[in-house]
Amino acid sequence: MVGEIISVGTELLLGQIVNTNSAYISQKLAELGIDVYFQSCVGDNSGRLGYVLRQALSRSDLVILTGGLGPTDDDLTVSTVAEVLGRKLICSATVLSDIEQYFSRIGRRPSENNKKQAMVIEDCRVIRNAIGTAPGQIVEDGGKIVVLLPGVPDEMKRMMETGVVPYLKEVGGASQSTIRSKVLRFVGIGESLLASQIEDLLAGQSNPTIAPLAQDGLVDLRITAKAPDVATAEQMISEVAREIRTRFGALVYGEDGEQLAQVVGRLLVERGFSLATAESCTGGLIGKLITDVPGSSRYFQGGVVAYSNESKSKLLGVPSQILSQYGAVSRQTAAAMAIGVKRLFGSSVAVSVTGLAGPDGGTASKPVGLVFIAVISDRSLSVGRFIFNGNREQVRRKTAITALNLLRMALMDGSSAVG
């Protein structure tokens, strides 16, 4: 079975709401071994929705629509699907009773437009809504399956789990296979260089497949396998992942949704270390990434955002002579900031950054994107010089990621950096 997903809602096209529903539905279909080759997003327009639905039905066995099941005039999914399939709309007494009970529980009366949601497609299988008013619907038509789900994520997820997945298993829509993926996360290497070093694996791939995805300062490598069962799929993935890890070593910092700051935090806990940060050009971004991790209070002592020269001197003790002789963006200032913040918080290790995020302020000797990053422990102090490309936000992001990675590498290499 080949599946397709259509997300309905003008608010999605305008970027007012992030479309998380498609990702969730795709994950569930993958678990069932159902391939998804296309996803579409269409606004609240019957003509365009009808066009997209007809196109989907021409190439896919299963079409799942999410959104557009509400009570207002621009909620057109049910009527449009009925029109495309040549089906009537009928009032479901069961759904109407569910809607009335829902409003009774919250101490309100349903309006006439709420009752519109009791209109379902002729001969559909209703998926009752336990936490809202719009029912889900499953329609079988000429060997095709059309599923209508609410756009509200909680309602959609519950119906997917309790209604759609059991139905697909029941009718044999679920494949005798499963699709599984693992993401290896890289830092300190670009996408093109990474791809060139696994060119043989990319050229020969069929199952599992390998796909890189680049972000600012990070690269993900997704490995996907289709197999008769979960254990076999995971074994297939494991063999490829093992080969990739062998080639890249410490450049692989984690897997799946693991964040770089999580890895750093885990290493700090394992070693019983505490951390402090001093930031100039990143404006507190490193501290934010660290404290986004639950439990970071176990190891993060605190940070200082020292943007001006005055604050660098007063808060971190950077000598005025260093600032006047070498400037705020210099190897010497980065080192002094790291020394100062480590002393201030009494931490085991500290990291500091100073640089030119732009877009203005650069010179021939100190261009926009120039950044110095220092990492200090009780045993060592190292300072790195970097030039990052991109706009202001990209420079800041790459600086923060690189600082965390230098800290990670120092924590891993306890014999030469920290300990």
Average pLDDT of the chain, as a whole number: 94
Is 352 found in the same domain as 315? Answer: yes
pLDDT at 346: 98
Is residue 418 one of the residues assigned to a domain? no
The pLDDT-based confidence of 174 (bands split at 50, 70, 90) is low
Tell me the per-residue pLDDT of 256-273, one tens digit each, with 9 for 90 and over. Answer: 989 999 999 999 999 999
Is residue 7 one of the residues assigned to a domain? yes
Give the number of domains in the chain: 3
- CA 91 to CA 307: how far, in whole Å? 65
Q: Is residue 81 scored above 70 in pLDDT? A: yes
Is 355 found in the same domain as 272? Answer: yes
Tell me the per-residue pLDDT of 304-363, one tens digit each, with 9 for 90 and over. Answer: 999 999 999 999 999 999 999 999 999 999 999 999 999 999 999 999 999 999 999 999
Question: Domain of 47?
Answer: 2-170
pLDDT at 172: 76
Is 237 found in the same domain as 91? Answer: no
What's the CATH code of the domain at 235? Answer: 3.30.70.2860
- CA 253 to CA 196: how far, in whole Å? 19
What's the CATH code of the domain at 153? Answer: 3.40.980.10
Q: Which of 202-206, 235-239, 372-376, 406-410 has the lowest mean pLDDT?
A: 202-206
Is 379 found in the same domain as 307? Answer: yes
| DSSP structure class, residue 105 | H
Is residue 132 one of the residues assigned to a domain? yes
Q: What is the mean pLDDT of residues 78-92?
A: 97
The pLDDT-based confidence of 215 (bands split at 50, 70, 90) is confident
Pick from 140, 170, 200: which residue ends a domain?
170
Is 283 found in the same domain as 372? Answer: yes
Pick from 170, 191, 226: which residue ends a domain?
170
Phi first, then psi, for residue 396 (nearest 5°) are -65, -45
Q: Is residue 415 scored above 50 in pLDDT? A: no
Is residue 417 one of the residues assigned to a domain? no
Is residue 100 one of the residues assigned to a domain? yes
pLDDT at 416: 39
pLDDT at 417: 45
The pLDDT-based confidence of 419 (bands split at 50, 70, 90) is very low
pLDDT at 119: 96
What's the CATH code of the domain at 326? Answer: 3.90.950.20
Is 124 found in the same domain as 34? Answer: yes
Is residue 419 one of the residues assigned to a domain? no
Is residue 365 one of the residues assigned to a domain? yes
* Proportion of the chain in helix, strand, coil states, percent, rounded to 5: 45, 25, 30
Run of H or E residues at 286: helix 285-291
Q: What is the mean pLDDT of residues 73-83?
A: 95
Q: Which of 321, 243, 253, 307 is nearest to 278 (CA)?
A: 307
Is 324 found in the same domain as 218? Answer: no
Is 210 found in the same domain as 104? Answer: no
Q: What is the mean pLDDT of residues 154-175?
A: 90
pLDDT at 301: 98
Tell me the per-residue pLDDT of 122-135, one tens digit each, with 9 for 90 and over. Answer: 999 999 999 999 99
CA contacts within 13 A on the Cβ side of 313: 11
Is 266 found in the same domain as 156? Answer: no
Is residue 149 one of the residues assigned to a domain? yes
pTM score, whole prediction: 0.75
> Residue 240: helix, strand or coil by DSSP?
helix
- DSSP strand pairing (144-149 vs 119-121): unpaired
Pick from 218, 238, 255: which residue ends a domain?
255
Is 283 found in the same domain as 250? Answer: no
- DSSP strand pairing (209-215 vs 218-227): antiparallel
pLDDT at 177: 82
pLDDT at 34: 92
Which is more confident, 115 or 350?
Answer: 350
Is 152 found in the same domain as 69? Answer: yes
Q: The tokens of 233 are what?
A: 């799929």
- Provide the sign of the torsion angle of the four alpha carbons 39, 44, 46, 47, taken in this order: negative
pLDDT at 414: 62
Is 309 found in the same domain as 207? Answer: no
